A and B are shown apart, each in its own frame.
Chain A
Amino acid sequence: MRKHFFGKLLTGVLTAAMMFTFCGCGAADTSGSAGSDTPAASTADDSLKKVKDAGKFVLGLDATFEPMGYTDENDQIVGFDIDLAEEVCKRMGVELVKQPINWDTKEEDLNGGRIDCIWNGMSVNASRQETMNLSEPYMKNAMVFVVPADSDAKSMDDLAEAKIGVQNGSSAQEILEASAIASTMNEQVLATNVEALMQMDSGLVDAVFLDSVVAEYKINADQKDWKILPDGLEEEEYAIGFRKNDAALRDEVQKILGEMKADGTVEKIASEWFGSDVTTIQ
């Protein structure tokens, strides 16, 4: 996993640098304290106050996840997540700052304090639950196979021996590699979903395994001649990621989302992007 690689690498380099420079600290307390997984313990949770004082809520996104959060043809960052976040910020009385990040190092950006949350159609999984303070899931997403419309494949089982494209570092990749069916397929790991779909168009891969949200949006928005196989692998959910210690901020955002659901704002925004309220916000 790249995220673990970067985390460990940075921790290692910085720890080494610090032991080298400040050997006065003693080696005893470097073992448990270094690294992104154990941020400095704060006495009180002032995360919400900090955001309100600064008047800015910095949302981290990789800005290429259409339709959740992406850069449009006018170089503006837009998307369903962005519209939701804009409304949340309006109600918090702060400005939304959309900060593009490298998805591979999102945990480091979050824990390092460069951003206040990761909000970009991020799937819930065990390792993220452990390293972040996640919001309640706000949307369901299935992992599906997309094939060209003229493909013979009718279901997942027809894809044995096929070459499957999948985005590197994505949940789709984790799920595919963990599934029983993976052993019968040839996995082709690519940098992005779009590259995978482009490769499928040029016949380099037979199918692409990705989020149903993206697949449906792509097929409709781009008028592509693709079809989604009816049976996918496990369903998953999207959530917003906060720093482990930032409970106050996370709870405030969660509360506002609940209010927005209640007064119909969520349905209005969701309809603009998906035609109906596809969210699972309570």
Chain B
Amino acid sequence: MSFDEIGKVFLILLKYLLPTLKVFGMTLLFSIPLGMIVALLKMCKVKPVSWLMNIYIMIMRGTPLMLQVIIAYFAIPMLMQNAATPAWLNSLLSGVDIKGDAYMFRSVLVAFSLNYAAYFAEIFRGGIESIPKGQYEASACLGFSRTQTFFRIILPQVFKRVLPASTNEIITLVKDTSLANVVAYAEITMKAKQQMQLYSSLTPLVLAGVMYFVLAMVLSLLSSFIEKKLSYYK
């Protein structure tokens, strides 16, 4: 490929950085709080709740994300076409504009958020369980409520402990956004593959790789910066 052609492809890929970042950012926005909720529910003393969370985590971690994206994407159209779908569900689903662009993004987001929430849940659970019992006891003796104890005493310490493992997941997520192309969501990898076809050259894919690399670098620098900021206590 000529220099001009590479520049052209680069500009196209740059344009699709935004949809990639959209999947990345929105997934984090939903999966981190959801992961925290799942972690707390899994530690819940009511056994059926805990088992349910276990099953959820097992399914999400035990099946490929690519498969989950495909199922999330086709679930609603297939249910709508299926004669066995009850009428109330059908009327509920008929409000969904499956031909719209938003539908594709949302189904991708649902699959990514549910999948990453499961991984985050296990990281958070490990973090919460690693906080010594004495922290809870000291808080109780000082009169803090359970909510105050969790948000003021436990969570800030959990945050520091789960940071390295979470950074790992977050960097994996940057690269996993490329899986959205199985349902033809227009992002960097999808565009790189199209351009690769056009020029019969691997260069567009390499360019996409460079972009993911830069994103991952920025994130790991950011993470070590935060880790340094948090190193004032042990």
A/B: CB atoms within 8 Å of each other: yes
Q: Which residues of A contact B (CB under 8 A)?
A: 6, 9-11, 13-15, 18, 22, 24-25, 29-30, 33-36, 38-41, 56, 58, 62-64, 66, 70-75, 97, 99-102, 105, 108-109, 111-115, 192, 194, 197-198, 201, 218, 222, 224
Chain B residues at the A interface, C-beta cutoff of 8 Å: 5, 8-9, 12, 15, 67, 70-71, 74-86, 89, 98-99, 181-184, 186, 190-191, 193-202
Chain A residues, Cβ within 8 Å of B190: 100
Chain A residues near B201 (CB-CB < 8 A): 198
15 A-B interface contacts by CB (under 8 A): A6-B70, A34-B82, A38-B83, A56-B99, A62-B184, A71-B194, A73-B198, A99-B99, A105-B74, A105-B182, A108-B77, A111-B77, A197-B200, A201-B200, A224-B200
**Is the CB–CB distance between A75 and B15 below 8 Å?**
yes
Cα–Cα, bound, A41→B83 (Å): 8
- Select from chain A the residue with minimum beta-carbon distance to B5: A73
Residues of chain B within 8 A (CB-CB) of A6 are 70
A39 to B77, CA, bound (A): 11
Q: B residues within 8 A CB of A10?
A: 70-71, 74, 78
What residue in chain A is nearest B89 (Cβ atoms)? Answer: A22
Q: How far is the CB of A51 from chain B (nearest CB, A)?
A: 11
Contact A40 B194 (CB under 8 A): no
Known: A29-B83, A99-B184, A222-B200. 7 other contacts (CB 8 A): A24-B86, A29-B84, A63-B184, A73-B199, A100-B186, A100-B190, A108-B77
Task: Say whether A113 contacts B98, CB under 8 Å.
Answer: yes
| Alpha-carbon gap, A75 to B70, bound state (A) | 25
Question: Which of A15, A74, A113 touches B81 (beta carbons < 8 Å)?
Answer: A113
Shortest Cβ distance from A39 into B: residue: B81
B196 nearest CB neighbor, chain A only? A194
Known contacts A33-B84, A39-B81, A102-B183, A58 near B70 by CB under 8 Å: no
Chain A residue at minimal CB-CB distance from B201: A198
